[in-house]
Amino acid sequence: MTRRFLSPALPFALLLAACSGGSDDGDQADASDAMPVEADGGIGDGAVPPQPVRSDTIPAAFVGVWDHAKGACDPNSEARMEIGPKTVGFYESHGEVTGVEVDSPEQIVVSLAMEGEGETWQNATMYTLGADGKQLTTSSVNGEQYEPLTLRKCE
């Protein structure tokens, strides 16, 4: 009489074969099992980069009176800027907020409907707060070119 011995791994191999949901298409993988690919070609979770938050008011950290770094914060200063939640006032003009893009707590782009000296125009400006919240740098966006201007917060 001959005895047959079954390998201890054989039942496990049979169990795995029974559980695998084989495909009629041979070795082709199901599209739902595919690894997501980022737009830049990298493999990831499919998340998109964060988009700016849109608002109709300027965040509180930017609100206040600002003047040139060497200015005296005098109301007659030509570099003085008064930022409110829905308005921005300058020496000879003022603007009504038409939109705010909040890129981060320290950086926003403010769109304004401007009026001054008998004229009206649209303006968009980037505002960037310094680390201490006491400095504000304004810079151009949308093609209007000017040197960034750093202002300090008036007390």
pLDDT (tens digit per residue) in 38-82: 555 555 666 666 677 899 999 999 999 999 988 889 988 999 999
Q: In this structure, is residue 66 part of a structural domain?
A: yes
Q: Is 104 inside any structural domain?
A: yes
How many residues appear in the chain? Answer: 155
- Using one digit for the tens of pLDDT, what is the confidence trace for 83-105? 999 999 999 999 999 999 999 99
Q: Looking at residue 71, what is its pLDDT?
A: 87
Phi, psi of 46 (to 5 degrees): 85, 0
Q: What is the pLDDT of residue 52?
A: 78
User: Is 124 a member of any domain?
Assistant: yes
Write phi, then psi, for 18 (nearest 5 degrees). Answer: -70, -30
Residue 135 lies in a domain: yes
Among 92, 97, 96, smallest CA distance to 75 is for 92
Q: Domain limits at 76?
A: 53-153
Q: With respect to residue 5, please indicate whether it lies within any of the assigned structural domains.
A: no
Does the residue 24 lie in any domain? no
For residues 8 and 123, the model is more confident at 123
Element (H, E) at 16: helix 9-19
Tell me the percentage of the chain whose pLDDT exceeds 90: 54
d(CA 71, CA 56): 30
Kindly state whether residue 33 falls inside one of the protein's structural domains: no
The domain tally of the chain equals: 1
CATH no. for residue 91? 2.40.128
- 61 belongs to a structural domain: yes
